[in-house]
A and B are shown apart, each in its own frame.
Chain A
Amino acid sequence: MTESRVWSNAVLPTLGVIIAVTLWWLATAVFHIDPFYVPSPADVVETFFRTPGFLLQESWITIQRVLIGFAVAVTLGLVIAVVLGSSRTIERMALPVLAAVNAIPKVALAPLLLVWMGFGDSPKIVMVILVSFFPVIVSTMAGLTSTPADLHELARSLKASWWQTFVKVRLTWALPQVFVGLKVATPLAIIGAVIGEVVNPDHGLGSVIAGSSANSDTALAFVALVLLAVIGVVMFYLVAGLERLLVPWAKAISS
């Protein structure tokens, strides 16, 4: 059993990555693609090792922005969802507004954020929040309204107060769905940070990308993309790991 776990949790994903990189390599080699357009994996690695310290530092800046923004977005999303979930009236009033805010193309907001907040971290973090809070709200609300009827009836028959029902039944029941939202929001948070940095470059991997296109340094842009992908994967697996830790029962009842 543990052996098959290692197989499916570690070996298979690694194998998938190796295959993907090999295909990329083969494609650039077989079709003789000009590295100016698509550099091969070897070019990318080589470019990374030209300035590893600098790139890691820029990555760290982006990671910090993503993490701060994501944390705020999740907190905000959870709080808003709980407020909306506690009252039909508020939900009816607020949901269209939130949906409208979510529908605004965030790229269009980037210049405005520059005007409002100037350079530095805050416009990027705000972009992360704007891009990633909505899925958290939607999934948490879906979770809060999905409590099975028999659990509601149980709470009623015990004369549980609204608050007791909320904390002891509804909120915990919603957790698996909350995690669905978190998994959707994770990559969005990274996208948000990069949008902020490309539009309004100072530091971070998005700024590296913006700078590389100014210098026609495609390989450098690819290095930044690969680093972003790595950050995205790591964050995704962290969230998935947290899910396993917090809601080990979810899988068992959904199957």
Chain B
Amino acid sequence: MITIDAVSQTFKGRSGPVEAIRDISLTIGEGEFVTVIGRSGCGKSTLLRMIAGLLKPTAGSVTVAGSPVREPRRDVAMVFQRPALLPWRSVEDNVMLPVEIFGWRKSEYRPRAEHLLEMTGLSGFRKRLPHELSGGMQQRVSLCRALIQSPKVMLMDEPFSALDALTREELAVELQRIHMDLGTTIVFVTHSIQEAVLLADRVAVLSSRPGHLRRVVEIPIPRPRTFGHNAHMEQVAGISAELHTLLLSDDHLQASPQT
């Protein structure tokens, strides 16, 4: 579904060029859930924005569903770290925004919007304005807004990172359910190991500055997965420890040349 082929990104910063991503290649299958994990500033958002067509790679290429990405496409939806809702639009109208912008028939999509809001437990809040909702609810709205496009691919950039731990887990479980129901291909950026392990079929670990692919870790735990007690505690712990080591050792690599 997504082919990332030898992609690099170098920004022209104020004080010379900043190499954000170096030579990443990764193939993501249809319906696969891949999480991208790495330390702050390692280029996770940059990678996602290149897949979304918001940013052109300085080298290499990205292909989605067989065609090279040059600009944003309608079958690829983005969920941002902050909900990015329009404060004057009701929950329902925020969800309908892509429909309006794409020039689709609104009457056709209203039932779908309603269904999505119901699915995410927001049906009672349809007419509310975003500021009347909690952070978790706002993020659910932005998830619904992405889903209304019926995207083949969803790109999520730390969508739950501004939320408290419990809300985060709740939403992660919900997202897993949506993924199982709809079979959307999802690339999910996070810096939480726990989240990465719970959600992913595979975890792509990036190293810092410049970000490149350090390892891809398979998570062979059957779904649906849950936080806390479950039958695969040991496996989860093992993988988490592995990811932890990978991310930590990256720190040593980075620190040694400087000292």
A–B complex contacts, Cβ < 8 Å, 5 sampled? A151-B84, A158-B102, A159-B73, A247-B88, A253-B87
Chain B residues in 8 Å Cβ range of A157: 52, 54, 72, 77-78
Chain B residues in 8 Å Cβ range of A253: 87, 131
The size of the chain A interface, using a CB distance under 8 A, is 20
- Cα distance A153–B46 in the bound complex, in angstroms: 13
With beta carbons under 8 angstroms apart, the residue of B73, B86, B102 that contacts A151 is B86
> Of B11-19, B93-101, B178-186, B214-222, which binds chain A?
B93-101
Assess whether A158 is in contact with B87, with CB atoms less than 8 Å apart. no
Chain A residues in 8 Å Cβ range of B98: 158
Residue of chain A at shortest CB distance from B82? A150
Chain A residues in 8 Å Cβ range of B74: 159
Contacts beyond the supplied A148-B84, A150-B82, A151-B86: 11 A-B pairs with Cβ under 8 Å? A153-B80, A154-B78, A155-B101, A158-B72, A158-B98, A159-B101, A168-B97, A169-B86, A172-B86, A249-B87, A249-B131
Chain A residues in 8 Å Cβ range of B52: 157
Which residues on A are within 8 Å of B, measured CB to CB? 148, 150-151, 153-160, 164, 168-169, 172, 247-249, 252-253
Known contacts A157-B72, A159-B74, A168-B97; A249 and B84 CB within 8 A of each other:
no
Q: Counting CB contacts under 8 A, is B129 at the interface?
A: yes
- Cα distance A229–B77 in the bound complex, in angstroms: 55
With beta carbons under 8 angstroms apart, the residue of A154, A159, A252 that contacts B131 is A252
Q: Counting CB contacts under 8 A, is B242 at the interface?
A: no
Chain B residues in 8 Å Cβ range of A155: 101
Residue of chain B at shortest CB distance from A169? B86
Q: Which of B72, B73, B77, B84 has the most CB of A within 10 A?
A: B84
- Cα distance A168–B98 in the bound complex, in angstroms: 11
Q: Shortest beta-carbon distance, B145 to chain A, in Å?
A: 9
- Cα distance A129–B124 in the bound complex, in angstroms: 48
Q: Counting CB contacts under 8 A, is B30 at the interface?
A: no
Q: Mark B125-167, 1 if CB is under 8 A from A, else 0.
A: 0000101100000000000000000000000000000000000
Assess whether A160 is in contact with B88, with CB atoms less than 8 Å apart. no
Q: Counting CB contacts under 8 A, is B71 at the interface?
A: yes
- Cα distance A248–B89 in the bound complex, in angstroms: 11
Assess whether A249 is in contact with B129, with CB atoms less than 8 Å apart. yes
Q: Shortest beta-carbon distance, A251 to chain B, in Å?
A: 9
- Cα distance A154–B102 in the bound complex, in angstroms: 13
- Cα distance A248–B54 in the bound complex, in angstroms: 33
Assess whether B84 is in contact with A150, with CB atoms less than 8 Å apart. yes
Chain A residues in 8 Å Cβ range of B71: 159
- Cα distance A1–B238 in the bound complex, in angstroms: 56
Chain A residues in 8 Å Cβ range of B131: 249, 252-253
Q: Mark B81-118, 1 if CB is under 8 A from A, else 0.
A: 01010111000000001101110000000000000000
Residue of chain A at shortest CB distance from B155? A157
Assess whether B72 is in contact with A153, with CB atoms less than 8 Å apart. no
Residue of chain B at shortest CB distance from A159? B72
- Cα distance A59–B84 in the bound complex, in angstroms: 48
Assess whether A158 is in contact with B80, with CB atoms less than 8 Å apart. no
- Cα distance A253–B73 in the bound complex, in angstroms: 31
Assess whether A154 is in contact with B87, with CB atoms less than 8 Å apart. no
Q: Shortest beta-carbon distance, A155 to chain B, in Å?
A: 8
Residue of chain B at shortest CB distance from A155? B101
Top 9 A-B residue pairs of the complex, sorted by shortest distance between their CB atoms? A252-B131, A150-B84, A157-B78, A249-B87, A154-B84, A160-B101, A158-B101, A159-B72, A253-B87
